Amino acid sequence: MGDYGNIGINAGYARFCAKDFGKVGLDGTLKGDFQNQNIGYKLSANASGLIGNGHGVNAGGYAGVEFGKLNCTQYNLGVMTDYTKAFGKEKLETLGDGSFIGDINPNQSLKAGLELGFSRNICCDDDRRISVSLMGGADIYNEAKLNLDNQNIEYSKLNKVKPFLGTRAEYAKKVNDKGQELYFNGKCFLSDGSTYGEAGIGFRF
């Protein structure tokens, strides 16, 4: 099947620790075969800007091995990482009695772990593909504390660790004989430390 790579652009919706964002970004993928063409490697990376009610960044990477590349269903196993940072301070709301309230959420998270999944050419048609992966590992995030003296929220460095579970899904369809694709995707990470989810649409060249 040979080595090949592609670049995609995407847009959509993201939610990080109870904050909603619009999302625009880029992703890139490089695939290739080993000596046995039924086994190959995959390297991928993505970066997105989070915009709207606040702003931030989300970026991630993956490196792994694919099995059964010549079959209708391929399986993958690799390592992944995902980083999210929300900029700007949390807003505190002052109540009539002089007290105040506000959402106290971490504004930074680094997730790293293993990813296991599969891709299926629908009806063994190379032009339509669905991919699903499960992820798990460590969520490294910062701690947010309310400073009553200054009436603001203070953040530590990335010094807290919790386990996380995640999932990723994508449907892609080739739109021409050049192999360019229209795709729909989503991912979600759940942890006691921080949460992140997104859904989007994109185009790969």
Task: Check pLDDT > 90 for residue 71.
Answer: yes
Task: Check pLDDT > 80 for residue 104.
Answer: no
CA distance 57 to 147: 26
Task: Check pLDDT > 80 for residue 194.
Answer: yes
Q: What is the pTM of this model?
A: 0.89
pLDDT tens digits, residue range 13-37? Answer: 999 988 899 999 999 999 999 988 8
